[in-house]
Amino acid sequence: MKTRLFVVMVIAALAAAPGRAQDAKTALDAASKALGAASLRTLQYSGWGFDYVFGQAYDPNSPWPRFNVPGFTMTIDFVAPAVRDDRRRAQLEDPPLGGGFQPLFGEQRQIWAANGTQAWDVVGENAVAARIRDDRRPTAQGRLEQIWLTPQGFIKAALAGNATVRAETVGGKRTTVVSFANPAGGRLEGTLNDRNEVEHIASWFGHNVLGDTTMEAAFSEYRDFAGVHFPTRIVQRQGGYPLLDVTVTDVKPNVAVNLAVPAHIPTTPAGSIVGAPEKVADGIWIIPSYAKSVAVEFRDFIAVVEAPETEAQSLQVIEAVRKAIPNKPIRYVVNTHGHFDHLGGLRTYAAEGAAIVTHRDNIAFLQQAWAQPRTLAPDRLSKSGRTATFEGVTGSRLISDGSRSFTIYHYAGNMHNPGMLMLYFPKEKMLVVADSFSPPAAPLTSPPNALPNLRHFYDSVQRLRLDVEQVIPIHGRVTTLDEAKTILDTFSGGAR
């Protein structure tokens, strides 16, 4: 996935000048008045548009998958601060290439919220602690940033944040550039036009995969809503591709809101909790979590399958592996495919000296992304001075020490990702698979979303003539290939 990675050096180049503070206050007061920001305690805006699932592109050169959003409402409490994002999503792309639980049947409702340091999701009628997806940027922090990525939120934060301003003229157009410390961490920079409207905001932060990168928001087609001047078109970009594209149809200033943290959330463990190793065969352990890893003991080394989702999680997995298999180095970490929730911990293993085994087509992207500066959130690899070692898989790849072995198979043609890899242990008759088959917690009453990917996976196993007694999915419980066949028999006219 190509990236437009902006480094914080752009911000560092801004120099304070005499009178700058007064100039900043004058410019920001004018913008606050024009936007109707001063009297705002809360804000709710709604509309429709499209959203995109970050880090779930079909291949390294594709944008994030796009979905219809027939309903979108963002509710903000500037005082708390707190935010609630409520959207309805529906399938758009055909064929449904990439991640994001494609294809969706009907509408999917997603509700994300944050207040202070707490973040939670609403699933059905229940509030659940939000998972930590990037330990470089806490979940609550990332969600609260949506406040400062609105024109009014940006101006309020700039007035409170000792902002600096400078004038720029680009293409004959004069703008005012405002820069200050982001309340959610890092830096914010925005541009004001000659009507005192905020046209663009960029936020710099450190990302597990991308390094120093930006979250951007562009605003246009402002209208008056009960005294608040607000854009009716908002486009957000992250990692160089669109993330959200909304047409705003309604804005409600100072609406009554209740964004209090549910009572149980502060005491609920957040993130992907790493459990104790579970031995599934001689020399093979599962390290359970939301996305699990599998550790394999060889005579003189260890191989670990999958490195989700963050450095913190991978460090916990490495500690668990070393307790289960002491006094042996981790020589390999095998990556099943190029989605960010499966890439987030790879650099942690590279810092330990492990070679990264992945599909050949992922290597150029990883080398490019990992070459980016990591000044905002340095990780263990950037501090170690090591250079990552990659081994690309095409077709198949055997890892063996003469007594234990597994084979990595590329099963091409899957709509989730073209570089999908699965691992087969012939002695144990065991198969490790990611995302193509994630067994449900309860018996299915309707087809799984990604039934075509399950069909493709099952057919690939049959084509390779693999004798499978046990399936270890990266997501979900340990199961058998017969369960996949049963699902196919039930919902798609039978497994071939």
In the chain, what are the domain boundaries? 9-267, 278-491
Determine the pLDDT at residue 359.
98
Instruction: Answer yes or no: are the C-beta atoms of 180 and 157 closer than 8 Å.
Output: yes
Cα–Cα distance between 476 and 479 in angstroms, integer? 9
Across the chain, which has 496 residues, the per-10-residue mean pLDDT values are 39 39 84 97 98 95 95 97 97 94 91 95 91 74 93 96 89 89 84 96 92 94 97 94 97 96 85 85 94 96 95 94 96 97 96 97 96 92 95 97 96 96 97 94 78 94 97 95 93 65
Instruction: Answer yes or no: are the C-beta atoms of 216 and 238 closer than 8 Å.
Output: yes
Q: How far apart are the first and last CA of the chain?
A: 35
Instruction: Answer yes or no: are the C-beta atoms of 306 and 291 closer than 8 Å.
Output: yes
Determine the pLDDT at residue 495.
54
Token readout for 324 is 């289960």
For residue 55, which phi and psi values (nearest 5 degrees)? 75, 10
**What CATH number does the domain located at 278-491 have?**
3.60.15.10
Determine the pLDDT at residue 484.
94
Determine the pLDDT at residue 5.
36
**What CATH number does the domain located at 9-267 have?**
2.50.20.10
Number of Cβ atoms within 10 Å of the Cβ of 191: 19
Determine the pLDDT at residue 9.
34
Q: 154 by DSSP, 3-state: which?
A: helix
- Beta-bridged to residue 372, according to DSSP, are none
Cα–Cα distance between 266 and 256 in angstroms, integer? 24
Determine the pLDDT at residue 10.
36
**Using DSSP, how many helices (H) and how many strands (E) does the chain show?**
11, 25
Look at strands 302-305 and 330-334 and give their pairing: parallel
Matching fold, domains 9-267 and 278-491:
no
CB-count exposure of residue 272 (10 Å: 0-12, 13-18, 19+): buried
Determine the pLDDT at residue 145.
92
For residue 270, which phi and psi values (nearest 5 degrees)? -100, 165
Look at strands 302-305 and 198-207 and give their pairing: unpaired
